[in-house]
Amino acid sequence: VGTTITLGLAAMARGLADRTGLVTALPHFRDLPLPEPAQFVIGGHDIRQTTFAASADEFRQNSGVFGAEWIDACRDELAAASDRVRPAPQLGLGSAVLRLANWNEPKPARSVRQAIDLIAADLAAFVAAQSIDHLIVLNVASTEPVFRLGPIHKEWDVLEPALADAGGETLPSSAFFALAAIGAGHTYINFTPSLGASFPACWELAQTTGALHAGKDGKTGETLMKTVLAPMFAYRNLKVMSWVGHNIFGNRDGLVLDDPINKASKVETKDRVITEILGYKPSSLVTIEYLPDMGDWKTAWDHIHFQGFLGSKMTLQFTWQGCDSLLAAPLAIDLARLADLEKRRGGKGPMRHLACFFKSPEGVDENDFFKQFDRLVDHVASEHQP
Amino acid sequence: VGTTITLGLAAMARGLADRTGLVTALPHFRDLPLPEPAQFVIGGHDIRQTTFAASADEFRQNSGVFGAEWIDACRDELAAASDRVRPAPQLGLGSAVLRLANWNEPKPARSVRQAIDLIAADLAAFVAAQSIDHLIVLNVASTEPVFRLGPIHKEWDVLEPALADAGGETLPSSAFFALAAIGAGHTYINFTPSLGASFPACWELAQTTGALHAGKDGKTGETLMKTVLAPMFAYRNLKVMSWVGHNIFGNRDGLVLDDPINKASKVETKDRVITEILGYKPSSLVTIEYLPDMGDWKTAWDHIHFQGFLGSKMTLQFTWQGCDSLLAAPLAIDLARLADLEKRRGGKGPMRHLACFFKSPEGVDENDFFKQFDRLVDHVASEHQP
Amino acid sequence: VGTTITLGLAAMARGLADRTGLVTALPHFRDLPLPEPAQFVIGGHDIRQTTFAASADEFRQNSGVFGAEWIDACRDELAAASDRVRPAPQLGLGSAVLRLANWNEPKPARSVRQAIDLIAADLAAFVAAQSIDHLIVLNVASTEPVFRLGPIHKEWDVLEPALADAGGETLPSSAFFALAAIGAGHTYINFTPSLGASFPACWELAQTTGALHAGKDGKTGETLMKTVLAPMFAYRNLKVMSWVGHNIFGNRDGLVLDDPINKASKVETKDRVITEILGYKPSSLVTIEYLPDMGDWKTAWDHIHFQGFLGSKMTLQFTWQGCDSLLAAPLAIDLARLADLEKRRGGKGPMRHLACFFKSPEGVDENDFFKQFDRLVDHVASEHQP
Amino acid sequence: VGTTITLGLAAMARGLADRTGLVTALPHFRDLPLPEPAQFVIGGHDIRQTTFAASADEFRQNSGVFGAEWIDACRDELAAASDRVRPAPQLGLGSAVLRLANWNEPKPARSVRQAIDLIAADLAAFVAAQSIDHLIVLNVASTEPVFRLGPIHKEWDVLEPALADAGGETLPSSAFFALAAIGAGHTYINFTPSLGASFPACWELAQTTGALHAGKDGKTGETLMKTVLAPMFAYRNLKVMSWVGHNIFGNRDGLVLDDPINKASKVETKDRVITEILGYKPSSLVTIEYLPDMGDWKTAWDHIHFQGFLGSKMTLQFTWQGCDSLLAAPLAIDLARLADLEKRRGGKGPMRHLACFFKSPEGVDENDFFKQFDRLVDHVASEHQP
């Protein structure tokens, strides 16, 4: 996703690519002072040492998307962005991800506190070097194993002192970045189902620093369909008896999800939305499986068995064949643009109006995609004159 | 559909069937003074002499839906309703439908005026005999060929005098029923794509008589899906390049639609909604084909080819396997219940708030299913105390 | 399946049902002295005390297949067959099946030897009471957990003495029936993936007694498709990169398969055929999931990703919606008819020519459905004059 | 297809591409003296002046197949082949094709005789210039309208004298190439549903000149599936009630097929095979529709409704997503290789053993793909030592 965001911003800035796929390019958001593609400066952290150009070439070859021409045209921007990527601390990473790591941090962090400080130092250096107005930390890393919260995660005053001696069992890697960003007042957006900023102590910290945050888990494909179709069944009073969703895909994210521990957190979020929209729990089943030959293409097959009038049983099936990174990247750019708008308008804390972008929108009970979208439109319209 | 409505009302009144499939059974409509199943008295017109019980048996055997037990339990209600069905005038019917006709009217109508008067007399007799409070004429007949309107259909003062000498070329059969009902102040609802009340002179007549009316073409399956999915593509700024929909089904309605002239009016309405929602016209294709072995089951396969970020091409396919009459019947009952509510509240003329039930909602530009549903909910809520 | 076989034989004997679905009704088998439906006498063993009529009614209501008329017409035959069903020993059953058991054996078997003897006594009594010419024991019980063979299962002389003290850990229930049948020279056919007669000591016993046997695991739906499509890819030199098959169904067999231990044996056999036909192992995935609302209907979705010329990647998907028992029952009847033919011709031991009926044909390497069918046709033709 | 054949032969000759998709690369054909990719010399006729390199680039961009690298590596071969393409006579072309023509022949042919002579002269010049051992004329042009044969097409002695004054109403363009090739003893292969050599007078001519020929209509996708699946239903005695096939695609061939006259010949051949394999005619429906956004990708959705045991109704659906040219090109190369083998072995006339490559195999009643393949394997094996 990081590669596609970087290439996409460069290709749009050069006028090669149009804005199809960007929600913020819709008429609803016209005339808002949103940042333009050329205004973004990309940096990042990674556990694999590679370049955006190499990733883009690999992606193109495996998945048959975007021409070699665009990669060639944007080689300068890709190289510059690659130079701004720094090695991520390996503390707090799951074993499935660590197996893929090939880039050692110069001074390995030994505690959560050290990891946060190292990240915060990188962020500060980036802001200074690039004269960044508004730093947005976006989590597009591989999914972490499910992390269960405990009493220690409730209050910042309790958690903060414990970090100096804490390791990966206290907080996962994604939370280090969230705390580093939010602690310094930067914006944090979690595009994955990992923990990130999703715990009370972190929200409390955001209240203190005034940082914006949003999450979690970008709603790109099958779950988008679920939050679109479930309301249809609900409003027609058709009773969903079972909803089965099988997902296959082949990118690196899939390789990590193939680990059962990591997969659990993804399945949990994909399965929940139907129950919340329908108001009852049908039989359900969600699988996510890694098949290397699929490249970045994700195919979801969903089978919905529903009961209609007079006990009749009917079926809806759909097959979604989407290229994951190309669905995710424009949404990530949208989130950054809308977060920037919110910042200019003086916003703070959780951005609940961004719910339509997420599978598990934080602080929001509404999972109906269309109600979520209406909320976004209302929000940006009503705050036009804050 | 008529058979299923009759059986369904009886089965619900007897407590055999629950209300799954009825929109008006949703919490949104709780506490409204809607008529109960046992309060309905069914009558009708037909061109085939048969009984509801025979139709229900045939339907059950061909399509494998509802048990023989329910038909047995409701034989009295089915027989009583069958006795209240009268032969329809054959004037103004298309040749595809006439081929199926086996019930001659005692005094064949020779002009539109005669046909209207005969129908009106039947309606008046039914109201008197059954002590009907509120007569609702519902068109669930087979689809007519496309009927092109001319200047004569604009004003009632111009049209009315011409009817005495006019034949089927001036107005199709569905309009006779609309004019007979609306002329007497009864409610008229058009569940088909046929003309019905959908011409200015008829609306003008409704203004005069205060009759309620709504239409047209019940949104039961594939088109419902289109008006649910097209907004998703629109709000994600994904560009639909082509939308192909192939429909196969095997009931008598299908036999009539297999006639190319009748089919045209159905395809027209199914194809239009996508363009209206998206705001541009993708390549599109709609077929409806009759396959006798399918019984009342309709299978729709839709293939949506769309473009996402950076020129990527992706695909969504769905297969809808629904039993047509069992999807239509509860919506027809909903329409009757909501029309009755409107009548009690003093409503007159077009019921625009019922748009979510129709493929071609009259007097309404909005085709997005969810916006249509919101409008319905708002309407019944706001007018609770008229 | 037992219910459907019983009802189907009765309905065919009465001339109510035609022979669609029976392989042995094809022209290839015309003029062979195959037993007619009216000549079969059905008995059996079960762990649940019920009647065929009750099962047929339940099946009809849950799955919407065959009319109540046929069940009514055949009530005598169904009742007579129900009276010939005896309680099965519970020794050697898996826990998933035991949870469903509600019929206790009068004298519980304490050892494998006792169980075999009890079954053998039942079989002998049945043969005597009904004057049976040729007894065929058909396993259509729920799938057992995978059973791993050891040295003790190699030779009958070693195994036989051990049975007196052995329990379910030595042999599973399905093997008791196989040994009881084969030990007495009856025919044994295994329509399930359970062990049955599939171990060397049992084959050896069949050589001694001259019993016919065949297995295992009836090839009814998705696996049939696999053994039809895989040869197509092979003969077009299209490289299958991955083959994913997801199966959902809702009958009692599904409930048992939902137990992971039982499921493993099913998945194993479904997955193997592709590799054997292609000659290489693509990425593959098979799931079988129980969803009660599906009734006896099994829906399989298969996604085949293959590579063609010049590295191109293409896809075939199929959805199979079949009613499991109605696919299995005619094949079971075919197997009995063909086994009877073989018996009349003096055949003994494994019936390799029946491979086209099985997912895991014993003693046969060929999985290509069409080559298997050719073998069957050749076999019955060539032995016409033994 | 011509472009893909040319690029594919070059890429294989250079060792860039492997032989996936080539039937003749299967073990069954190992050790046969088949010509190698580097031994082919490509020429041709066209009505559009373009280059293989330009076509390959356009194809790659529209359809996302094969990398720009391969086109770059093979630019010399593509350019050389382009130089060997000559303008085709426009006589006898349908209007749908003529609309695409942009390359005028230097001396327009005014009669069938003139057109044949011009083509024959081109072929002779090509043979001489390139020292061709064995010239194979392969028809991969767009599909012609259905051409109905009359008495004049029965005997060469009757037809031949009439050609001097005849125009396109007497024979279509494809037949000119067939007569030019066969008249000179060259091999003719018809990969399209057009007439080509498929009339008695032309077969008679082939007998005289000893020319090899084969046809017609390459079996690449949906029809291949039909000839694979129909035998399965037949051998399981499952009764196919209806078979619906909808095809959408977007290449230039599709544009021509979008003309109803041209489409008819394609639909005819696609629909016939099912009836011939099953031995009865189910309800059936075939559509082929042109959607420009699909590029060279063809998606076929087939819905097969079949009846099993005890009147049960079941469904198989499949979706085939294949890249048409990449499925056709290797088969065309196979045909050329196998025709060359046949020539070396002294074969003459119709090559019936190539039936498995064609939708409408000439002189062969067998449509079962597997029986056709067996015949091919038997043929090449049996003639190994002629």
What is the residue-averaged pLDDT of chain B?
A: 91
Angle at B203 between CA B200 and CA B206, to 5 degrees: 155
DSSP secondary structure of C261-274: HHHHHHHHHHHHHH
Model pLDDT, residue D268:
64
Model pLDDT, residue B386:
39
User: Considering CB atoms only, which of B237, B330, B371 is closest to A22?
Assistant: B237
Over 50: is that where the pLDDT of A385 sits? no
Q: What is the mean pLDDT of residues D145-174?
A: 93
Helix, strand, coil % in chain D, rounded to nearest 5: 50, 15, 35
Model pLDDT, residue C251:
72
Model pLDDT, residue B79:
95
Model pLDDT, residue D2:
87
Over 90: is that where the pLDDT of A161 sits? yes
Strand partners of residue D303: D244, D317
**Per-residue confidence band for B98, with pLDDT thresholds at 50, 70 and 90:** confident
Binding partners of D (≥3 Cβ pairs within 8 A): A, B, C
Model pLDDT, residue B236:
94
Residue of A nearest to B1 (CA): A309
Q: Are B224 and A235 in contact (CB < 8 Å)?
A: no
Strand partners of residue A316: A304, B320
CA distance A266 to chain B (A): 22
**Per-residue confidence band for D95, with pLDDT thresholds at 50, 70 and 90:** confident
Over 80: is that where the pLDDT of D386 sits? no
Q: What is the mean pLDDT of residues D334-361?
A: 96
DSSP secondary structure of B107-151: S---SHHHHHHHHHHHHHHHHHHHT-SS-EEEE-SPPPPP----G
Q: Are D68 and A64 in contact (CB < 8 Å)?
A: no
Residue B131 or residue C167, greater confidence = B131
pLDDT in tens, B230-289: 999 999 999 999 999 999 988 766 666 666 666 666 666 666 889 999 999 999 888 888
Residue of D nearest to B307 (CA): D293
Q: Are B291 and D283 in contact (CB < 8 Å)?
A: yes
Model pLDDT, residue D263:
62
Q: Are A359 and A155 in contact (CB under 8 A)?
A: no
Over 70: is that where the pLDDT of B327 sits? yes
What is the residue-averaged pLDDT of chain D?
A: 91
**Per-residue confidence band for A214, with pLDDT thresholds at 50, 70 and 90:** very high
Model pLDDT, residue B262:
61
Q: What is the mean pLDDT of residues C308-331?
A: 94
CB-based contacts of D150: which residues, under 8 Å, 6+ apart?
Answer: none
The chain C residues in contact with chain A (CB within 8 A) are 64, 241-242, 244, 246, 248, 283, 285, 287, 289, 291-295, 299, 301, 303, 305, 307, 313, 315, 317, 319
Torsional sign, CA D41, D47, D53, D55: negative
CA distance C236 to chain D (A): 5
The owner of tokens 């058009």 is: B190
Residue C312 or residue B251, greater confidence = C312
Q: Are D236 and C357 in contact (CB under 8 A)?
A: no
Residue of B nearest to C69 (CA): B68
Model pLDDT, residue B38:
95
User: Considering CB atoms only, which of A285, A287, A293 is closest to C242?
Assistant: A293
Residues of B in contact with A224 (CB under 8 A): 232, 236
Pairing of the two strands A187-190 and A212-215: parallel
Q: Are B53 and B133 in contact (CB under 8 A)?
A: no
Q: Are C309 and D235 in contact (CB < 8 Å)?
A: no
Q: What is the mean pLDDT of residues D200-206?
A: 97
Q: Are A248 and C286 in contact (CB under 8 A)?
A: no
Q: What is the mean pLDDT of residues B47-72?
A: 87
Of B338, B344, B348, nearest to B211 (Cα)? B348
**Per-residue confidence band for A295, with pLDDT thresholds at 50, 70 and 90:** confident
User: Considering CB atoms only, which of B65, B67, B319 is closest to C61?
Assistant: B67
Q: Are D23 and C237 in contact (CB < 8 Å)?
A: yes
Distance CA D234, CA D232 (A): 5
Over 80: is that where the pLDDT of D266 sits? no
Model pLDDT, residue A187:
98
Out of A283-297, C40-54, C279-293, D253-267, pick the least confident.
Answer: D253-267
Over 60: is that where the pLDDT of D264 sits? yes
Over 80: is that where the pLDDT of B384 sits? no
pLDDT in tens, C3-33: 999 999 999 999 999 999 999 999 999 989 9
Binding partners of B (≥3 Cβ pairs within 8 A): A, C, D
User: Considering CB atoms only, which of D20, D232, D236 is closest to C309?
Assistant: D20
Secondary structure class of D3 (helix, strand, coil): helix
Q: Are B381 and B31 in contact (CB under 8 A)?
A: no
Over 60: is that where the pLDDT of A300 sits? yes
- B252 burial via Cβ count (<10 Å: 0-12, 13-18, 19+): middle
Model pLDDT, residue C260:
64
Distance CA B206, CA B347 (A): 12
Residue of A nearest to C283 (CA): A291
Mutate to test the interface with C, among D19, D225, D310 (most CBs of C within 10 A): D310
The chain D residues in contact with chain A (CB within 8 A) are 61, 64-65, 67-68, 319
Q: What is the mean pLDDT of residues A262-266?
A: 61
Q: Are C61 and B68 in contact (CB < 8 Å)?
A: no
pLDDT in tens, D130-139: 999 999 999 9
Out of B245-254, C40-49, C296-305, pick the least confident.
Answer: B245-254
Model pLDDT, residue C68:
81
Mutate to test the interface with C, among A61, A280, A286, A303 (most CBs of C within 10 A): A303
The CA-atom distances, in angstroms, between C265 and each of C47, C260, C288 are 21, 9, 11
Over 50: is that where the pLDDT of C327 sits? yes
ipTM: 0.93
Mutate to test the interface with D, among C237, C309, C373, C377 (most CBs of D within 10 A): C309
pLDDT in tens, C230-271: 999 999 999 999 999 999 988 766 666 666 666 666 666 666
Q: 3-state SS of D149-188?
A: CCHHHCCHHHHHHHHHHCCCCCCCHHHHHHHHHHHCCCEE
Residues of A in contact with B65 (CB under 8 A): 310-312
Secondary structure class of B347 (helix, strand, coil): coil
Residues of B in contact with D289 (CB under 8 A): 244, 285
pLDDT in tens, A9-46: 999 999 999 999 999 999 999 989 999 999 999 999 99
Q: Are B305 and D293 in contact (CB under 8 A)?
A: yes
Number of H helices, E strands in chain B: 14, 10
Residue C115 or residue A272, greater confidence = C115
Over 60: is that where the pLDDT of B74 sits? yes
Q: What percent of chain B has pLDDT over 90?
A: 72
Which of A372-386, B97-111, B165-179 tops mean pLDDT?
A: B165-179
Secondary structure class of C246 (helix, strand, coil): strand
Over 50: is that where the pLDDT of A384 sits? no
Distance CA A323, CA A218 (A): 14
Q: What is the mean pLDDT of residues B312-328?
A: 94
Residue A250 or residue B149, greater confidence = B149
CB-based contacts of D226: which residues, under 8 Å, 6+ apart?
Answer: D243, D245, D270, D273, D274, D277, D302
Q: Are B216 and B193 in contact (CB under 8 A)?
A: yes
Q: What is the mean pLDDT of residues D196-205?
A: 96
Residues of A in contact with B17 (CB under 8 A): 309-311
User: Considering CB atoms only, which of A294, A305, A321 is closest to C294?
Assistant: A305
- Dig out the tokens for C46 from the structure: 């079960």
The pTM of this model reads: 0.93
Dihedral through CA C21, CA C24, CA C26, CA C31, nearest 10? -150
Model pLDDT, residue A281:
92
CB-based contacts of A359: which residues, under 8 Å, 6+ apart?
Answer: A193, A216, A217, A218, A219, A223, A269, A270, A273
The chain B residues in contact with chain C (CB within 8 A) are 61, 64-65, 67-68, 319
Q: What is the mean pLDDT of residues D28-56?
A: 93
**Per-residue confidence band for A261, with pLDDT thresholds at 50, 70 and 90:** low
Q: Are C386 and C343 in contact (CB under 8 A)?
A: no
Model pLDDT, residue C63:
82
Distance CA A315, CA A318 (A): 10
Over 90: is that where the pLDDT of B179 sits? yes
- A279 burial via Cβ count (<10 Å: 0-12, 13-18, 19+): exposed
Helix A173-183 vs helix A112-130: angle between axes, to the nearest 10 degrees? Answer: 50
User: Considering CB atoms only, which of C8, C20, C318 is closest to D239?
Assistant: C20
Pairing of the two strands A283-290 and A239-249: parallel
Residue B161 or residue D287, greater confidence = B161
